[in-house]
């Protein structure tokens, strides 16, 4: 099954009040295994960047000034998304900005029935726990040491790992590993893996008569054993 994990960076919190999307990062997964295919783009929001937003993601108006408008990239983004389910953290926020930009560009909106919200998954699995991406990375041992500021593609990559853990752990894709590897060449088996033809036969789990006799001879030499008291 193909899924796309994505994240956005914006100028603020409300697209209906004039805030715009300035970055999107998407990570493709097949059977919960990352394929290596990604989509990443910055956008010129055609407005100033509030200091509070810039403090979060580090994207300045000067940096974004020569980036394309969303309308120039929107169709390529839709082509990448295809009809796959879309995974995001606090997905309503990201879907809101995505569909607002699609509307401005006069492109077809993405149906919210495709939405998979990892905040909702985490709340159900860990009620009362912290639900931020940082907190979930810590819980599941996902390395986020290189996350100095928010970045759409980096956060999507981290979220992809968290999503796998939230939905059953890394072992869920093992039986489909061959299929994923042939399609993407990114899945590799552990170095300890041994092909079936090279495996040793299982050792019998019961002691032989000779082993029992040797054991009895050994313990008979122990003076004042604890089990004899």
Determine the straight-line distance between the first and last CA of the chain, rounded to whole angstroms: 64
Confirm whether 45 is domain-assigned. yes
Domain contains 109? yes
pLDDT recorded at residue 227:
62
Total domains, the chain: 1
Asked whether residue 115 is assigned to any structural domain, the reply reads yes
Catalytic residue numbers, as ranges? 150
pLDDT in tens, 18-29: 999 999 999 999
Task: Give the domain range for residue 17.
Answer: 2-172
DSSP 84-130: --EEETTHHHHHHHHHHHHHHTT-PPPPGGGEEEHHHHHHHHSTTS-
Q: At 109, which CATH number? A: 3.30.420.10
Q: If you average pLDDT over residues 160-182, what whole number do you get?
A: 68
Q: Does 62 reside within a domain? A: yes
CA distances from 200 to 108, 195, 203, 207 (A): 58, 11, 8, 19
Q: Is residue 223 domain-resident?
A: no
The residue with greater pLDDT, 191 or 1, is 1
Which tokens hold the place of 158?
């981290």
Domain-located, residue 214: no
Instruction: Report yes or no on 182 lying in a domain.
Output: no
Q: Which of 110-119, 121-130, 202-211 has the lowest mean pLDDT?
A: 202-211
Q: What residues pair up with 117 in beta bridges, in sequence order?
A: 88
Task: Report whether pLDDT(155) > 90.
Answer: yes
| Residue 188 scores a pLDDT above 60 | no
The pLDDT of residue 210: 81
pLDDT digits (tens, 9 = 90+) for 37-81: 999 999 999 999 999 999 999 999 999 999 999 999 999 999 999
Rg (CA), the chain: 26
| Domain assignment present for 227 | no
Check residue 159 and give its pLDDT: 97
Q: Which pLDDT score is estimated for 197? A: 52
Q: Which residue has the higher pLDDT, 106 or 179?
A: 106
For residues 147 and 162, give the distance between their C-alpha atoms in angstroms, rounded to a whole number: 15
The whole-number pLDDT of residue 62 equals: 97
In the structure, what pLDDT confidence band is assigned to residue 180 with cuts at 50, 70 and 90? Answer: very low
**187: pLDDT strictly greater than 70:** no
Percentage of the residues of the chain whose pLDDT score is greater than 70: 82
Residue 85 has pLDDT above 90, yes or no: yes
Contact between 171 and 30 under an 8 Å Cβ cutoff? The reply is no
Lowest-pLDDT choice from 89-93, 104-108, 196-200, 221-225: 196-200
């Amino acid at each position: 099954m193909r899924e796309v994990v994505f994240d956005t960076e914006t100028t603020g919190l409300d697209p209906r009040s004039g805030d715009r999307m300035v970055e999107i990062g998407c990570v493709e997964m097949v059977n919960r295994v990352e394929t290596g295919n990604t989509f990443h783009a910055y956008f010129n929001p055609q407005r100033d960047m509030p200091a509070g937003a810039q403090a979060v993601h580090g994207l300045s108006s000067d940096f974004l000034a020569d980036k394309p408008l969303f309308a120039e990239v929107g169709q390529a983004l839709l082509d990448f998304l295809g009809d796959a389910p879309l995974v995001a953290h606090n997905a309503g926020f990201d879907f809101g900005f995505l569909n607002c930009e699609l509307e401005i560009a006069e492109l077809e909106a993405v149906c919210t029935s495709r939405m998979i919200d990892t905040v909702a998954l985490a709340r159900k699995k860990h009620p009362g726990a912290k639900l931020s991406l940082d907190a979930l990375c810590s819980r599941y041992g996902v390395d986020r040491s290189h996350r100095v500021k928010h970045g759409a593609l980096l956060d999507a990559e981290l979220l992809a790992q968290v999503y796998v853990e939230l939905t059953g752990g890394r072992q869920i894709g093992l039986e489909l590993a061959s299929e994923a590897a042939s399609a993407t060449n990114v899945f590799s088996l552990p170095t300890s893996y041994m092909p079936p033809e090279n495996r040793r036969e299982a050792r019998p789990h019961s002691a032989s008569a000779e082993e029992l006799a040797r054991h009895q001879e050994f313990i008979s030499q122990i003076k004042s054993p604890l089990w004899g008291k």
